[in-house]
Amino acid sequence: DSILLKVNHLQTSFFTHFGEVKAVRDVDLTINKGEVVGVVGESGSGKSVTAMSILKLLQHPGKIISGNIIYKGQDLAQRSEKEMRKIRGNEISMIFQDPMTSLNPLITVGEQIMETIIEHQPLNKKQAKEKAINLLNMVKIPDAEKRMKDYPFEFSGGMRQRVMIAIALSCEPDLLIADEPTTALDVTTQSQILKLMKNLKGEFNTSIMLITHDLGVVADICSRIVVMYGGMIMEEGSVEDIFYRSKHPYTLGLLKSVPRPDMDQQSRLEPIKGTPPNLVNPPEGCPFAPRCDYAMKICTTTCPEHTYIQEGHRSMCWLLHEEAPKSDFLSEGDE
Ligand code: SF4
Ligand code: MG
């Protein structure tokens, strides 16, 4: 696989009245050409901030502290806002959870798609219109030509998300970053949108970074999954590694909280107890330690490094670390 994007040691903080919120702490992430990578974690785990850092769309008081964001060999962390605007329009697109906030309510959907096309491609109005209709057909909006004249509020949530995908694809991006694209939608629409993204990925060979709090969403569409917690990557592996071979307590907790069609949902769902850490003063050791049933003394003082379980499958947990002390479980020794 050839590498499209490589994030090295990314650290991003927000400098607030309460102190420095360390939202992303030393994240390494690779996305290959044509690959769909799922980034999964509870809200506040640093997924969206990682995406916003890649695109350099962080709002004040957010700031990239250190790290590289190597895209096609150049470091985006060093690019000016002007250069980034070019990259954002042409190379990397993004879609969000709520398309209503990204669409202009006063302009017809057709005009909005055409505007984006004309902004980035040397096409005249007529050609842009044709292309817009094509795109709407591609994202399976019925009566595409007629619907060009409709305003965003005249579309359902699912149809609006299709419009956003059409706009995002209008520049034929090499990378599409989708942040909770189906979270606001009902289950049926959600699976239709995911299927659509999967098909389009096949057609355009676009790489996709799919951000979600829901592990259930990523299984079908992703080839690789990155699990984040407390601003760090807890585990990374293939879908099979994460679903069937994970030994990481946080990933296992997430898996238990995923609704599964083959199980009675009520009896099955088991949310992870406790709340994510305060990232102003993150725990010194493993960020999951305060919630982890397996936490040992060392977990509260020292953050473990990633251990490779096999190629492509890494996990940040003392339980898997060869230097881990074997017998100092907090719950046993220290009453
Ligand atoms: Fe739990 Fe320790 Fe592993 Fe963190 S390092 S997940 S606290 S066992
Ligand atoms: Mg988010």
Which residue range is the domain that position 86 belongs to? Answer: 3-91+171-333
CA of 123 from ligand 2 middle (Å) equals: 35
| Residue 195 CB partners (closer than 8 Å, separation 6+) | none
pLDDT per residue over 320-335, tens digit each? 988 777 666 665 444 3
**Ligand found nearest the CA of 46:** 2
The rounded distance, in Å, linking the Cα atoms of 76 and 84 is 8
**Ligand found nearest the CA of 285:** 1
Instruction: Please report the pLDDT score of residue 331 as a whole number.
Output: 59
- The CA–CA distances, whole Å, from 85 to 15, 31, 170, 311 equal 24, 21, 16, 36
The rounded distance, in Å, linking the Cα atoms of 36 and 312 is 15
Structure tokens at 156: 């359902």
pTM beyond 0.80: yes
Residue whose CA is at the smallest distance from ligand 1 atom 5: 317
**Ligand found nearest the CA of 183:** 2
Judge whether 193 lies within some domain: yes
Q: State how many domains the chain has.
A: 1
265 neighbors 259 (Cβ within 8 angstroms): yes
**Ligand found nearest the CA of 40:** 2
ipTM: 0.95
CA of 129 from ligand 2 middle (Å) equals: 33
Nearest to 202 by CA among 144, 157, 138, 141: 138
Residues having CB within 6 Å of any atom of ligand 1: 249-250, 286, 288-289, 292, 294-296, 299, 304, 317-319
Alpha helix positions (H), the chain: 47-55, 81-90, 99-102, 109-120, 125-138, 144-147, 157-169, 187-204, 215-218, 239-244, 249-256, 265-268, 297-301, 330-333
Judge whether 242 lies within some domain: yes
Place of tokens 């189906």: 182
Residue range 2-16: mean pLDDT, rounded: 96
CA of 154 from ligand 1 middle (Å) equals: 49
Nearest to 226 by CA among 254, 191, 261, 196: 254
Give the CATH number for residue 10: 3.40.50.300
Judge whether 201 lies within some domain: yes
The rounded distance, in Å, linking the Cα atoms of 147 and 50 is 35
Q: Which of 45, 272, 286 maximizes ligand 1 atoms within 8 Å of its Cβ, making it the mutation to test the pocket? A: 286
The rounded distance, in Å, linking the Cα atoms of 257 and 272 is 7
Tell me the β-bridge partners of 229.
232
Q: What is the DSSP letter of 30?
A: E
pLDDT per residue over 269-317, tens digit each? 677 888 888 888 888 899 999 999 999 999 999 999 999 999 999 999 9
Beta-carbon count within 10 A of 173 CB? 22
CA of 40 from ligand 2 middle (Å) equals: 10
What 3-state DSSP class applies to 329?
strand
CA of 325 from ligand 1 middle (Å) equals: 12
| Residue 335 CB partners (closer than 8 Å, separation 6+) | none
Q: Which amino acid is at 297?
A: K
- DSSP-derived pairing of the beta strands 74-75 and 62-71: antiparallel
Instruction: Please report the pLDDT score of residue 335 as a whole number.
Output: 38
Judge whether 62 lies within some domain: yes
Task: Please check the confidence at residue 64 and state whether its pLDDT lies above 80.
Answer: yes
Beta-carbon count within 10 A of 203 CB? 10
Task: Please check the confidence at residue 13 and state whether its pLDDT lies above 90.
Answer: yes
Judge whether 185 lies within some domain: yes
Judge whether 31 lies within some domain: yes
Q: Which residues surround ligand 2, an ion (CB under 5 A)?
A: 48
The rounded distance, in Å, linking the Cα atoms of 88 and 107 is 22
Residue whose CA is at the smallest distance from ligand 1 atom 3: 317
Instruction: Please report the pLDDT score of residue 52 as a whole number.
Output: 95
Judge whether 153 lies within some domain: no
CA of 44 from ligand 2 middle (Å) equals: 7
Beta-carbon count within 10 A of 108 CB? 16
Tell me the β-bridge partners of 329.
296
Q: Which of 250, 292, 300, 330 maximizes ligand 1 atoms within 8 Å of its Cβ, making it the mutation to test the pocket? A: 292
Task: Please check the confidence at residue 265 and state whether its pLDDT lies above 60.
Answer: no
The rounded distance, in Å, linking the Cα atoms of 275 and 272 is 8
Judge whether 151 lies within some domain: no
